[in-house]
Structure 1
Amino acid sequence: MTLPTLWDISPPVHAHAPVFPGDTPYTQEWVATLGPGCPVNVSALRLSPHVGAHADAPLHYDPEGAAIGAVSLAPFLGRCRVIHAINCGPLIEWRHIEHAVAGLPERVLVRTYERMPQHAWDGALSAYAPETVTRLADLGVRLIGIDTASIDPADSKTLDSHQVIRQRDMRVLENLVLDDVPEGDYELIALPLKLTQADASPVRAVLRALR
């Protein structure tokens, strides 16, 4: 079987895309439509920047943190490793990923689902153990990603893994679709929008086979 050279790892964004309870779902309205007096369709969007695949800004978890439009793009572009920790339970512990940490690149994406629930909220999502994030940072990892809605448990009030990200100046991608991506190394392309005041940004995340 020939593997693809490009994997789209972004879930679809639409009115039924799941969001954290209380967050702003995606809605769209047409403010102009093609017709005799109008040459184009134009829509207006309303959504949380955490809908779909997205990059958190330091501002999301640090009151003094930078907005997403002010962070460097470098962590979101380059060699990465996809590691499988499928059905690992509530936390991704070091034992779940240690089989694949030799020679890690600066970006690590962890798959926890057999099939990511793209149309329903999962309150029992898997998250990173903060100790795992710390050990990845110690190995030079600059960005971590996950196929769930958060690197912390959905009911966490302390956001311990986000606090490690803050302390180590790392970046994060959430809500990735890694269902069909084999373990291994790829080129990651997941650039956030230059939103000058936002706590996060949607991304169109893709993986490209290494040449």
Structure 2
Amino acid sequence: MADQFDPIAANIQIRATLGLRRKDESGARLDLRFGPDEDPEPGAIYRIKDVLGEAWELSYRWYEPVEPLPWGAPDPRMREALLGDLEAELEEAGIEGSSAVLDYPTGWLWIAQVMTDRMVKWAAEGEEIEISDIKEKFGTLRCYVRGSERLQNLAQWCEAQSETRCMATGLQGRPRNAGGWVLCLSEEMMELHKRDHYQLMDLIYARSPRS
């Protein structure tokens, strides 16, 4: 339930994984998994490649949250009001681009609450924060921000949390092809898309009921 979620208690640490592969046809791969908030610098990556030899090359880098948020989301009917409150908090804290938070879908609202909580706290400490854009891209959340390294890590955490979270329900999901769009959906919401795509979108970007 929404009233059981506490954004203050969320762990915003992320874990980096570097993937290397051999250049030959063997298909050999090596994943190097780092500790919480340990992001190897370019110099360290070059040293790793030197140790392994020229037969290996860096193939990918990805991030995952140390602790995933619990599954779930607020009632879709609360989306507009909740986001309006978050926008007001960000604006009062002097954070530029606060209106971008209004683009969060229902299933990722808890991510929005955590993001807002940390940004407001850091702004109170004197940090200058700007939100350039918030949007969904290829089924994951993208937060474009300007500020400190911890702010960039927070943006990366938001994206990592969204990768397995249904945009409509906040339950476990994965990116799926939904009629030319890639959306992160649960099995149930994918079935809803097949029956009625517009009803699905009404849940993802729900609006408050009008009296």
Same fold (TM over 0.5): no
Q: TM-score, normalised by structure 1?
A: 0.26
Q: TM-score, normalised by structure 2?
A: 0.26
* Structure (1/2) with the larger helix percentage: 2
Larger RCO: 1 or 2 (CA < 8 Å, sep 6+) = 1
